[in-house]
Structure 1
Amino acid sequence: MSENPLKIMYLSPVAGSGAHDDVFAKMAGEHKLPSTEVHVASLPEGQGRFSHIEFRAYEAMVTRGIIRATRQAAREGFDALAIGCFYDTALHDAREISGDMIVTAPCVASCEIAASISNRFGVIVGRRKWVNQMSATVREHGHEHRLAGFYHVELGVTDFQKDHAETERRLIEAGRKAVEEGFAESLILGCTMEVGFYHDVEKKLGVPVIDPSIAALKRAEYAAILKRQCGWKPSRKWSSEAPPEDEIAYIGGFDDGEIFGNRIVVQAEEPGPARKAA
């Protein structure tokens, strides 16, 4: 492998405040390999003041920003990028524009990990609203036959970090239903803002509980290692064909203007995150 550190970007597809970036930077610092450098980034306020993208209309609005951020991360030499939303927003679109950089996202990463440690998993989601779209995503990734079901706790994205005791109580209640009634052998927390709760829920329920933000980061890191060690880069044949560069240049809008808002760098071989100007 190269002596240069692995470079991973964790892209939070919200814009304006960067309010959640410190949470994800802490997660990255605790779970990345010592030799990995992680950039936790969000979109600029010009994309809209989104604190979540629970609604398809919000997803549509931020998709342009995700595409631009992915392209820029590839140009900056990142090995892999994780899109930080369990909807796996713009995953296929971003992969198309990512060059040699690997792109993953929380749902696909979590399902892959759950499938490697259990035969049947349940997904704990915030609101019933999310289930229709998330079930389609699980199906698309080929894991529908392993799915015990979705179990909602009626918390929005921005609610999970407000009252940790109440959030944990609801997660345990939903998880117990998934295990005892749905016969789930592992659980996936179906929102990246559920970060930090998996360990306590796991202890209470006695089954593996997958934190999707950690899953996305670690799958990105693992893919980056495989790319360096084995040369396994993204395919650009057939359905994976990238847009032609001359056409991108003619269309415009891919590379100009502000692309990232807030950015926190969690350095390789450093004990904690160091903030970097956007």
Structure 2
Amino acid sequence: MATKPRKIMFMNPLASSSGVDAIFADMARQHKLPGTEVHITSMPADVGGFSHIEFRSYEAMVTRGIIRGVRAAAREGFDALAIGCFYDTALHDAREVSGQMIITAPCVASCEIAASLSNRFGIIVGRRKWVNQMHGTVREHGHEHRLSGFYHVELGVDDFQKDHAETGRRLIAAGRKAVEEDYAEAIILGCTMEVGFYREVEEALGVPVIDPSIAALKRAEYAAVLKQQSGWIPSRKWSSEAPSEAEMARFGGFDDGEAFGNRIVVEA
């Protein structure tokens, strides 16, 4: 009997006008398994015109849009969803309202993969500003003891795709410091907009380099495979307890308006 396609959503928490959905769609086409349908989505206009969410205040503004999108994806029957920001924005919040859909995000996914490939890894980030928050996220996920450090290249989210040669040069220089001075055995690229650079950096450094967008997509896909084959679904006990539908309806705001501003479907 034929198995129905796995349905994965990669939710870009930026505005649809940011123009990066096509980059993520190309990534999905290259890396998904046959039999997996991937939807690349981004935020509608009423969430704001964010081209990055480097600041906690920006994250706070887009969190409602993420929750609304997760609710919509769960109703559409998606097996798993990846939130496309290395801050793992609203990861725990989204899990509460995701029903039987499994939620992951780039930092937790990348750390899990790096831990399976090495004992010690470094994370290359865009700006020093990001380090405090990302360090807390790595600690929360239980990987702080594996972390050689954070290595910033002084590029904002909007800068990574402007000059590929310069971005590659900076990433390799930061990675070389991690590997040769701090003995990192693997490297994580700590921004989803570093997509497309991992092979170049890996070739230069000679250690595994994890692209966080690919990591999030593949962890979501793997979760969907396990759900399909083993019937494993998220717990809704204790700390994972979901709010009641009646209370969410009474409070309002969870399902109002358009959930997505753009959608690209990568067919199974």
TM over 0.5: yes
For residues 127 and 265 of structure 2, the distance between their equivalents in structure 1, rounded to whole angstroms, comes to: 32
- Which AA in structure 1 matches 2:176? R
So what's the TM-score if we normalise by structure 1? 0.95
Query: Does 2:152 correspond to 1:144?
Result: no
* Superposed displacement of residue 34, structure 1: 1.3
- Which AA in structure 1 matches 2:258? E
Aligned position for 1:108: 108
SS at match of 1:177: helix
Query: Does 2:159 correspond to 1:185?
Result: no
Q: Cα deviations across residues 60-117 of structure 1 (Å, max 9, x unaligned)?
A: 0000000000010000000000000000000000000000000000000000000001
SS at match of 2:17: coil
Q: Cα deviations across residues 236-260 of structure 1 (Å, max 9, x unaligned)?
A: 0000000001101111111121110
Give the paired residue count. Answer: 268
For residues 23 and 234 of structure 2, the distance between their equivalents in structure 1, rounded to whole angstroms, comes to: 29
Following superposition of structure 1 onto structure 2, how do residues 82-97 of structure 1 map, counting pairs within 5 Å?
A: 82-97=82-97
5+ residue gaps, structure 1, are: 269-278
* Superposed displacement of residue 2, structure 1: 6.5
**Contact map agreement 1:71 1:97 (CA 8 A) in 2:** yes
Cα RMSD (Å): 0.9
SS at match of 1:10: strand
**Contact map agreement 1:86 1:191 (CA 8 A) in 2:** yes
* Superposed displacement of residue 155, structure 1: 0.2
**Contact map agreement 1:16 1:46 (CA 8 A) in 2:** no
For residues 88 and 2 of structure 1, the distance between their equivalents in structure 2, rounded to whole angstroms, comes to: 35
Q: Cα deviations across residues 143-196 of structure 1 (Å, max 9, x unaligned)?
A: 000000000000000100000000000000000000001100000000000000
5+ residue gaps, structure 2, are: none
**Contact map agreement 1:18 1:261 (CA 8 A) in 2:** no
Query: Does 2:87 correspond to 1:63?
Result: no
Query: Does 2:132 correspond to 1:132?
Result: yes
Stretch moving more, 90-99 or 252-261: 252-261
Aligned position for 1:222: 222
Following superposition of structure 1 onto structure 2, how do residues 111-260 of structure 1 map, counting pairs within 5 Å?
A: 111-260=111-260
For residues 95 and 148 of structure 2, the distance between their equivalents in structure 1, rounded to whole angstroms, comes to: 29
**Contact map agreement 2:18 2:50 (CA 8 A) in 1:** no
For residues 227 and 215 of structure 1, the distance between their equivalents in structure 2, rounded to whole angstroms, comes to: 18
* Superposed displacement of residue 16, structure 1: 4.0
Q: Cα deviations across residues 18-69 of structure 1 (Å, max 9, x unaligned)?
A: 4110000000000000110000000101111000000000000000000000
SS at match of 2:123: strand
- Which AA in structure 1 matches 2:166? E
Identity score, percent: 78
